[in-house]
Structure 1
Amino acid sequence: MNLMKQVLTGLKADDFRHPLDLQATTTLKQLPGLDLAIRSLLGSVAEQFFYLNNIAASVLVSEKQLPQLHKLLLEACQVLDLEPPQLYVQQNPVPNAYTFAMRGKQPFMVLHTSLIEMLTAEEIQAVIAHELGHLKCEHGVYLTMANIMVLAANLLPTWGTILAQSLQEQMLQWIRCAEFSCDRAALLATQNPQVVMSVLMKLAGGSPRLASQLNLDAFIEQAKAYDSATEDQLGELLKNAQTAQLTHPVPVIRAREIERWASSAEYQNLLVKGTKELQGGWRNW
């Protein structure tokens, strides 16, 4: 497969930031001292925790270690006009990826092996680009809180529950909105909406055994059915109750948003502004 992509030189976060992300971020910034409080209370501890976790139980991707993954990272960074962070691969049966970036520090991202196993090379790059979207949009301070909440819930269930309960509704709302911007970053890097939507489909119901049997068109129809089922007042109420405590929007909503943005003039204009083409191929993946 030989792909031709536009390199988006000079791309800014606000060129693709989702309106809901912008609104939610503005709301959080109006809370006095929140950024400073997160950095002061969590920064040094979180940095040390993640650093020790990665070097002890993950593999650092480089030109000499998993070079195909490294190539996907570098290409996505080139398209999105971003300096490459460190990328780690970690053995974990739960398909997931996450990013850590406190301002002024070395950012990094982690991919779980179970996620890699059920995705194609292009889909893995979409996941990498999604995580790069957090860096491009400077989500790091608030994203740190989200990642610690998830890890705390897994490692220390009681602490995780307390932390989740104390997290303000505005924080969870921001996290969900930020994901829409990062899905757009994935689309800009892959420049193929079907790749991004396929990742979302596999996250909803995929496995290495089932991945090749999934039907993207049927999943898109499922997303439209979800829209129809939540159009009335009761449906809207149930949808809000379902998503209120989630850190991510449900996959069908994310797929619907990508489908809409891919056909928008805003997205097409960003590609037109690309200054040069980037060639890439993954025949040997």
Structure 2
Amino acid sequence: MVKWKRDMGLEGRMVLTMFLLAAVYLLFLAFLASMGTSMGVMLLFIGLFMGLQYYYSDRLVLWSMKATVVSEEEEPKIHQTVTRLCAMADLPKPRIAIVRTPVPNAFATGKSPGSAVVAVTTGLMDRLNQGELEAVLAHELSHVKNRDMTILTIASFLSTVAFFFVRYSMYFGGFGNNRKGGGNIIVIWLVSIGVWLVSFLLIRALSRYREFAADRGAAMITGNPANLTSALMKISDVMPRIPTEDLRKVEGMNAFFIIPAVSGSIMNLFSTHPSMEKRIAALEKMQREMES
């Protein structure tokens, strides 16, 4: 069994992200209340949406990716690999799902380690050797071990509250009696855009750090950072050759993937992942430390 080292940097960032998001949304709710929006409507909508998100988030993620949970009889090799890695990482074995797409990738989802699902694509299994596949699976199990997938799911939900509430509250007459010529609606829309942008940037910053943490976790579990380096390079090399249509079908899940499926260039500030150069440099440093 691997002696797991707690990543205080990741834990601190998760706590800070949730604290800042909570502060932003409390201010947002206070603003809506000051504009005459019914508090009852706000609480009902948010409570319902949070309940659905918490209980069905993993199913929605799998459904959006058209992932199919497979039994050990259907995919014995990958089940055996995950079972061995879980024993090393002291984790309950997650369910395994397969996504039939040429895009080589993997992700983990679920509310907790006990309800986690690790999914891999057929494109990934076709392109990686056993050592590389183990490294990718260990990376996803590190997300489960760190519980950052839960935080990311909750944080991603919070970033949509402003948009959905502003979009639908008008149908409930939620803007109250203070509305004058639609001016308040414009102000609320502007504030909601600001709230969404702050949430978006906080989530992206957390997402980038969590990938570094999962890379370190994979290296600890497998004891061979070079395999993950090789896997990342293979996936990165293949991604530009994947048809744009296939990438666009899955790029909404980029924050969960081991490497983002992007159909165009994006700025680092808005990226869900650190640059490939930085990830490989960190893994190579770990490899040298282990060898010495």
1:262 aligns with 287
User: Which of 47, 53, 68 is matched with 1:42 structurally?
Assistant: 53
User: Which of 255, 261, 276 is matched with 1:251 structurally?
Assistant: 276
Q: Number of paired residues?
A: 210
- Structure with more of its chain in helix, by fraction: 2
Computing the radius of gyration from Cα coordinates, the structure with the larger value is 2
Q: For each residue in 1:178-225, what CA deviation from the matched residue of structure 2 results, as whole angstroms up to 9, or x when unmatched?
A: 111111121122211210110111122137x9xxxxxxxxxxxxxxxx
Cα contact 1:88–1:109 (8 A) shared by 2: yes
Q: After TM superposition, give the deviation of residue 72 of structure 1 in Å.
A: 0.8
User: Which of 95, 100, 103 is matched with 1:91 structurally?
Assistant: 100
What TM-score comes out, normalization by structure 1 length? 0.63
Q: Which moved more, 1:134-143 or 1:99-108?
A: 99-108
Q: Which moved more, 1:32-41 or 1:124-133?
A: 32-41
Q: After TM superposition, give the deviation of residue 244 of structure 1 in Å.
A: 0.8
Distance in 1, Cα, partners of 2:231 & 2:73:
27
Cα contact 1:101–1:140 (8 A) shared by 2: yes
Q: After TM superposition, give the deviation of residue 60 of structure 1 in Å.
A: 2.9
1:73 aligns with 82
- Structure with more of its chain in strand, by fraction: 1
Residue pairs, 1:37-186, within 5 angstroms: 39-40=50-51, 42-50=53-61, 52=63, 57-103=66-112, 106-144=115-153, 165=197, 167-186=199-218
Q: For each residue in 1:112-170, what CA deviation from the matched residue of structure 2 results, as whole angstroms up to 9, or x when unmatched?
A: 11111111111111111111111100113233258889xxxxxxxxxxxx898563322
Cα contact 1:100–1:109 (8 A) shared by 2: yes
Cα contact 1:28–1:170 (8 A) shared by 2: yes
The alignment partner of 2:20 has SS state of: coil
Cα contact 2:21–2:199 (8 A) shared by 1: no
Cα contact 2:14–2:206 (8 A) shared by 1: yes
Closer, same or farther in 2 for the Cα pair 1:77/1:50, shift >3 Å? Answer: same
Cα contact 2:132–2:230 (8 A) shared by 1: yes
Unmatched runs of 5 consecutive residues or more in structure 2? 26-45, 159-192, 242-265
Distance in 1, Cα, partners of 2:155 & 2:235:
19
Q: Which has the higher contact order (CA 8 A, sep 6+)?
A: 1
What TM-score comes out, normalization by structure 2 length? 0.61
Distance in 2, Cα, partners of 1:170 & 1:145:
13
Unmatched runs of 5 consecutive residues or more in structure 1? 1-6, 150-161, 210-240, 269-285
Among the aligned pairs, what percent are the same residue?
Answer: 24
Closer, same or farther in 2 for the Cα pair 1:16/1:118, shift >3 Å? Answer: farther
Distance in 2, Cα, partners of 1:39 & 1:103:
16
